[in-house]
Structure 1
């Protein structure tokens, strides 16, 4: 598999002159923030500049974001025209993203969750609030429980909206927080990686219209290994 050869190194799942699909490592930012920590946008720009002998004219467009602790498939545009075409697909909800989460609690076999979410930007925390709250935004997702092992549950999740921290906040509010998510779950930070992953991505190629579909397995580590037989 191709890699960006940056620090941290990022697996490249697909690349052509229009698109870049990567497997974002956990705890890497999608784009730069006040921390100055490594971010996908900067690292992928470095990667493309390496291919073009250090050219400063490299374009990389961020099509969507993943929360910092979340890993998995992430789509970037290599031209402004592709970025605009993909933004339309995002707006029209024709790009399909499937997330897997391992949760605690006792989720039902399936469900649709709708809440109103409010983000505290100073604390980088999102909470469920009243729909009457002026700045609250509606958030909806659907899920199916795929398997149950060792008191944990494997969920397949589809977003109807794309709000910050949406999956983590909504699942925790319903009583089945994501494993390892100390911000919205229970317990204190203990070094675990959050068990939430962007697993599948389907879209129309912005230039050719060809249907593209990508799938990247969960890592062979706790708690994903509890569901290894289901994944195979």
Structure 2
């Protein structure tokens, strides 16, 4: 792939100018040794070349090879948004986001690998930007090449990323809206569970919510994650005494539904390549809808 940038600082090195545009040293190394190219005003140059103001720098990034350790799954994939740089797909409940050593197939990463293999895209590496717990359904966000992934990590674009979730809890005295600002860390006696804790082992976690419906002694919440801690929504509401329906890890049970009633229904982000805000919506699945009927 090729990307072009106009230099704005007199005397800047090529590598410094590209760094301001999110091209990392690691990616420059790939360009240097794996078949890429740097051109300044149509002439090949090195990364330490000194630029004049207004110079046009074009960088050719080598294609990313197939990861042979990731096995492609030939399964349907519901694509919600796609361009040359990003891919947004639906993850059903019960499917892991990434493979594990004991389960080398059956995850979303395998399904996406199968998709990009069938499409014969030049970049065959799967770059997951946002993942979901196995039993959480909804929207997953991926990059189609390493530069697109790196840009979404930068504050300028990461801060535009918004994920919203539907969750169902047992109705009670929870206010109609609010914010939960409580730090989260791993439980000392578990490698899986998290908890609200107030020590050096925790990280800040902020969740906001609105109750959108109360029915059948249940409450439907529309939740915004302002931070991305593991199990954040599940831990925060369990700590308040409102575990998610079906979440037996954090105080719920399977009397009404066989998994935690949690679904990522909204994703928005500023596309670094088009400077347009992308909005993706995904309807709540039937197993959660049926709870409210």
Report the TM range for the smaller structure's normalisation: 0.7 to 0.9
Which among 140, 152, 155 is matched to residue 206 of structure 2?
A: 140
The alpha-carbon distance between structure 1 residues 180 and 51, as it changes in their structure 2 partners (threshold 3 A), is same
Name whichever of 111-120 and 28-37 sits farther off.
28-37
Distance in structure 1 (CA, Å) of the matches to 2:74 and 2:200: 41
The alpha-carbon distance between structure 1 residues 174 and 117, as it changes in their structure 2 partners (threshold 3 A), is same
In structure 2, the partner of 1:123 is 191
Q: Show structure 2 runs of 5+ residues with no match.
A: 1-71
> Equivalences for 1:150-189 in 2 at 5 Å?
150-187=216-253
Q: CA deviation at 1:115?
A: 1.4
Distance in structure 2 (CA, Å) of the matches to 1:182 and 1:104: 14
Distance in structure 2 (CA, Å) of the matches to 1:119 and 1:76: 26
Q: CA deviation at 1:77?
A: 0.3
In structure 1, the partner of 2:118 is 50
Name whichever of 194-203 and 24-33 sits farther off.
24-33
- Asked if the contact 1:28/1:69 (under 8 Å) is kept, the reply is yes
- Asked if the contact 2:73/2:110 (under 8 Å) is kept, the reply is no
> Equivalences for 1:64-75 in 2 at 5 Å?
64-75=130-141
TM-score by length of 2: 0.68
- Asked if the contact 1:114/1:139 (under 8 Å) is kept, the reply is yes
Distance in structure 1 (CA, Å) of the matches to 2:257 and 2:167: 18
The alpha-carbon distance between structure 1 residues 213 and 220, as it changes in their structure 2 partners (threshold 3 A), is same
Distance in structure 2 (CA, Å) of the matches to 1:149 and 1:89: 40
Structure (1 or 2) with the larger CA radius of gyration: 2
Q: Show structure 1 runs of 5+ residues with no match.
A: none
In structure 1, the partner of 2:98 is 31
Q: CA deviation at 1:188?
A: 5.9
Q: CA deviation at 1:120?
A: 4.2
- Asked if the contact 2:171/2:214 (under 8 Å) is kept, the reply is no
Q: CA deviation at 1:90?
A: 8.2
TM-score by length of 1: 0.85
SS of the equivalent of 1:50 reads helix
- Asked if the contact 2:216/2:292 (under 8 Å) is kept, the reply is no
Q: Relative contact order (alpha carbons < 8 A, sep ≥ 6): 1 or 2 greater?
A: 1
Distance in structure 2 (CA, Å) of the matches to 1:42 and 1:117: 30
- Asked if the contact 1:30/1:68 (under 8 Å) is kept, the reply is yes
Structure 1 residue 202 and structure 2 residue 262: aligned? Answer: no
Q: CA deviation at 1:187?
A: 3.4
| Count of paired positions | 219
In structure 2, the partner of 1:224 is 289
- Asked if the contact 1:101/1:157 (under 8 Å) is kept, the reply is yes
Distance in structure 1 (CA, Å) of the matches to 2:156 and 2:227: 10
Name whichever of 26-35 and 187-196 sits farther off.
187-196
- Asked if the contact 1:105/1:177 (under 8 Å) is kept, the reply is no
Name whichever of 184-193 and 168-177 sits farther off.
184-193
Which among 80, 104, 109 is matched to residue 176 of structure 2?
A: 109
- Asked if the contact 2:245/2:252 (under 8 Å) is kept, the reply is no
Distance in structure 2 (CA, Å) of the matches to 1:90 and 1:157: 23
